[in-house]
Structure 1
Amino acid sequence: MFTGIITHIGTVDRIEKAGDTRMTVSAGFDMEDVAIGASIACSGCCLTVVEKGRDWFAADVSAETLSKTNLSSWKDGTRINLERALKVGDELGGHIVSGHVDGLAEIVSITPEGDSHRLTLRPAPELAAFVAQKGSVALDGISLTVNEVSAEFFGVNIIEHTWKETTLGDRRPGDQLNMEVDMLARYVARLIDVREIRNDRNG
């Protein structure tokens, strides 16, 4: 589990394609106390450390993950948001994030507002119903509050600190961000589906 509070920006050093895709990442932090098999959120996608060095790690990425995330667009030199998994007693500064990306959201526009930036995004159609005003969403692993919602779009406000300390400052309109909907919204939707199925059966 994660919080959506980005602690470091890593850089993709090497991508090897043989069976699963192996990505080697310069982490920007000491990997000594990170165990093989540990989880690290890489721009919102939970990946397992399969190899490591002093300040780098490697992770294998399946075809399924590549098909549902923006990892397929990564290349040598791509900067990515990193967050280590929560430990018992850690501060929960964002919201509960699983690292299981639901799909993609396209940046439609980026508008400066004082020291902040307003992003308008178009989520994949199947994810739109999970986005609520003042609710939470994780974009490229960053915990954000939804400011406004319409039928096809939603908006978030990015403060200067987040803009500078994550990869959002690298992004442009047309870019696709990894999107994870709020866990509570996912379970509420599932509960509604189950009730509707039962009502139909009891007809």
Structure 2
Amino acid sequence: MFTGIIESFGTIQKITQDGSNFHFDLESNLASELKIDQSLAHDGVCLTVVETKPDSYRVTAIDETIQKTNLSGWQVGKKVNLERCMAANGRFDGHIVQGHVDQVGKVSAIKDQDGSWVFDLEYDPAIGNVTVEKGSITINGTSLTCFNSRAGAFSVAIIPYTYEHTNFHQLKVGDQVNLEFDIVGKYIQRITKGYTP
């Protein structure tokens, strides 16, 4: 389990395809602290560490992950938001994040607010995910608060610290992002609507 509070960046050094799987080698200042079989969120996608070196490590994404996230668009040199799983004795600073991306969204607008930024995002509402005004959302692994919440769209405000210390400073209009909707909202949605055929 994660909280959506980004710890560091990883920079993609190498991408290797092996059948339908993709291996990603990343350089990070967290590498020396990682262990094989450890869960690590990459732009909100929970991936397992399969190899470690002093300054880098490797994770593997299966086809299911590639199809349901923005990992298919990752390229060498890209900066990725990283968060290790929450320690049992840690503070819960964000919200409950599983590292299981629900769907990909798209940045539809970026507005400079003279010291902060407002990002407007769109997603396909036909999948059944919803946001709640002032509710939680995870974008590329970052825990944020929604506003202007409506079917298939919402906005988030980004303060300078978050802008600089996550990969929001790299995002452009039209970019795809990983979305994980609030777990409580997902359970309520399932209870009230059940399973659709």
Q: Same fold (TM over 0.5)?
A: yes
Separation in 2 of the partners of 1:129 and 1:21? 27
- 1:136-175 map, 5 Å: 136-175=136-175
Query: 1:54–1:61: structure 2 CA closer, same or farther, 3 Å change rule?
Result: same
Q: Equivalent residue of 2:51, what SS? A: strand
Q: For the aligned residues, what is the CA RMSD?
A: 1.7
**Contact 2:13-2:76 within 8 A present in 1 as well:** yes
Bigger Cα displacement from structure 2, 79-88 vs 20-29: 20-29
Q: Equivalent residue of 2:94, what SS? A: coil
- 1:36-75 map, 5 Å: 36-75=36-75
**Contact 1:15-1:76 within 8 A present in 2 as well:** yes
**Contact 2:131-2:150 within 8 A present in 1 as well:** no
Q: Count the aligned residue pairs.
A: 196
In proportion to residue count, which structure has more helix?
A: 1
Question: 5+ unaligned residues in a row in structure 1: which ranges?
Answer: 198-203
**Structure 1 residue 31: deviation in Å?**
2.3
Query: 1:194–1:128: structure 2 CA closer, same or farther, 3 Å change rule?
Result: closer
Alignment partner, residue 22 of structure 1 = 23
Q: So what's the TM-score if we normalise by structure 1?
A: 0.92
Separation in 1 of the partners of 2:50 and 2:126? 33
**Structure 1 residue 150: deviation in Å?**
2.5
In the alignment, does 2:116 pair up with 1:116? yes
Q: Deviations over 1:147-174 (max 9, x none)?
A: 2112332111011110010000000000
**Structure 1 residue 28: deviation in Å?**
2.0
Question: 5+ unaligned residues in a row in structure 2: which ranges?
Answer: none
Q: Equivalent residue of 1:118, what SS? A: strand
Q: Deviation above 3 Å: which 4+ runs of structure 1?
A: 126-129, 194-197
Alignment partner, residue 185 of structure 2 = 185
**Structure 1 residue 128: deviation in Å?**
6.2
